[in-house]
Amino acid sequence: MLDIKNLSVRYNSAGRVVDAVRDVSVHVEKGSFMGLVGESGSGKSTLMMAVLGLLPKQTEISGELLYNGSDIIKMSEDKMRDLRWKEISLVPQSAQNSFTPVIKIKSHIEEVLNIHSNKFGEEAEKDVIRLLGEVGLDAGIKERYPHELSGGQKQRAAIALALACSPALLLADEPTTALDVIVQAEILKLLSELQKRKDLSIILVTHDLPLAAMVCDRLIVMKDGMVAETGTPRDIINDPQHPHTKELVREMFRERNQNNG
Ligand SMILES: Nc1ncnc2c1ncn2[C@@H]1O[C@H](COP(=O)(O)OP(=O)(O)OP(=O)(O)O)[C@@H](O)[C@H]1O
Ligand SMILES: [Mg+2]
């Protein structure tokens, strides 16, 4: 479904050059739940923005980003617009803060349905209720303003928004950051259920290795813009190869022991 080959991304802003992604190759199979793990600044969000064709203009990008065989890097903006929301959709980092405060939840979702699925009026409203249901929210939430939702509810609403046009691939950038551990687990469970129920492919972006290991069937560990390691959670936790992954796994067991002690 998604084949990233030797991708490099270099930001060029205000005379500063940053090699945010360096020679990254990743293969995402249809129906998989992939975890993209790495510390802050390792290039996770940059990689996701590249997949969506949303990098700033002056950015240098090389390599291939094949989505069902077509290279996203070479795609026209029109073609890309067809792909976003309907094929590949993003739950952005800090999604909870990305809702406009004075706009009701339903209007946020309806706007996406209007623009990208050409659905209006009753048809759109029906979809809003269905989408809220799919993420475990009551229909009544649609009449609320963003500040009237808890953090976990807002995150669910952000997922509903991303699902509005029935994408095949969902990119979820740190969807559980800033939530308490119980709500984190609920959001992960939701993503996992959605992945199975809708035959959705998901890339979960997180700095939290244990969290990704809980739900993902494959992990990619990034460090300094490069792929340090890929494998199943079991392989990576039982037998990490890269020094950085070894450190992450040690850290994971240290925390676990502290919590148990
Ligand atoms: N628009 C931009 N212009 C210039 N540099 C950028 C831009 N966006 C990100 N960077 C730089 O690229 C590198 C990778 O950033 P990125 O946001 O992809 O990391 P990340 O892994 O998502 O980090 P975090 O976990 O903190 O979200 C960092 O050095 C960052 O400062
Ligand atoms: Mg990020």
Q: Does the beta carbon of 177 sit less than 6 angstroms from any atom of ligand 1?
A: no
Helices and strands (H and E) in the chain: how many: 9, 10
Atom of ligand 1 nearest to the CA of 21: 14
Neighbours of 137 (CB within 10 A): 21
208: exposed, middle or buried (Cβ count in 10 Å: 0-12, 13-18, 19+) = middle
**Residue numbers of the domain that contains 207:** 2-260
Using a 6 Å cutoff on CB, does residue 56 contact ligand 1? yes
In this structure, which amino acid lies at residue 12? N
Q: What is the pLDDT of residue 14?
A: 83
Ligand 1 centroid to residue 46 C-alpha, Å: 6
Per-residue 3-state assignment (H helix, E strand, C coil) for 114-183: HHHHCCCHHHHHHHHHHHHHHCCCCHHHHHCCHHHCCHHHHHHHHHHHHCCCCCCEEEEECCCCCCCHHH
Q: Please give the helix or strand (H or E) that residue 211 lies within, else none.
A: helix 209-215
CA distance 165 to 168: 9
pLDDT of residue 192: 96
More confidently predicted of 64 and 199:
64
**pLDDT category, 259, cuts 50, 70, 90?**
confident
Closest residue by Cα to atom 8, ligand 1, is: 46
Number of domains in the chain: 1
pLDDT band, residue 201 (cuts 50/70/90): very high
Ligand 1 contact, 206 CB (< 6 A): no
Per-residue tokens: 191: 């993503």
Average pLDDT value for the chain: 94
CA-CA distance, 223 to 137, in Å (whole number)?
36
State if residue 223 touches ligand 1 by the CB under 6 angstroms criterion: no
The rounded Cα 22 to chain-centroid distance in angstroms is: 20
For ligand 1, say whether the CB of 259 is within 6 Å of any of its atoms: no
Distance CA 25, CA 167 (A): 23
pLDDT of residue 255: 84
End-to-end CA distance of the chain: 44
Question: Which ligand has an atom closest to residue 207 CA?
Answer: 1
Q: Which atom of ligand 1 is nearest to the CA of 45?
A: 22
Residue 176 Cβ < 6 Å to ligand 1: no
Ligand 1 neighbourhood includes 45 CB (under 6 angstroms): yes
Q: Which atom of ligand 1 is nearest to the CA of 93?
A: 27
Ligand 1 atom with the smallest distance to the CA of 46 is 18
Closest ligand to C-alpha of residue 47 is: 1
Ligand 1 contact, 44 CB (< 6 A) = yes
Asked if residue 21 lies in contact with residue 47, where contact means CB atoms within 8 angstroms, the answer is yes
Query: Which residue is listed with tokens 């990034």?
Result: 222
| Percent with pLDDT over 70 in the chain | 100
Per-residue pLDDT, 252: 86
CATH code for position 198:
3.40.50.300
